[in-house]
Amino acid sequence: MTQAYARSMNRIGGGRAATMRKSGRRHHIRVRLTPLGKGFVGLLCFGVFAGGFGLAHRAQAQPEDTRPQVVHSYVVGPGDSLWKFAQENLPEGQSVDEYMIYLAKLNHLTSTTLVTGQRIVVPESQDNLTK
């Protein structure tokens, strides 16, 4: 082994002498992480953990209700509003605001304003099915 090689090994080891064995030619170099490196490794570990947890949680999620739903199709007339449709078909235990947002999502509406002639669908209330 040359002296130049041994000196370069000293520099790689962060100023500390690298241990070398003639028989096995093993070089032990101590590597240290900077605070930025530690932060990156911590963030990487957190990302892997959170991603795995999210995938496991998603795999366990089950649809709440897989039964087919009866829906009614309405053509919006003058004076009709999403609030009116929500209030008339409101399931028990749900607020009108929540149900109105549900109807807007169900009908792919970007706002709660309805236009005369527009067609919307409203699920039949479970209360009406049992009567």
Q: Are 76 and 33 part of one and the same domain?
A: no
Residue 28 lies in a domain: yes
3-state helix, strand, coil in the chain (%, to 5): 45, 10, 45
Residue 19 lies in a domain: yes
CA 70 to chain centre: 30
> What is the pLDDT, as a whole number, of residue 70?
83
Give the number of domains in the chain. Answer: 2
pLDDT digit string, tens, across residues 22-64? 555 677 778 788 989 889 999 998 888 888 877 776 655 555 6
Residue 121 lies in a domain: yes
Between CA 105 and CA 24 the distance in angstroms is 69
According to DSSP, residue 117 is labeled T
CA distances from 102 to 15, 68, 84 (A): 66, 17, 14
Domain range for 18 is 1-37
Handedness of CA 74, 105, 67, 92 (dihedral sign): negative
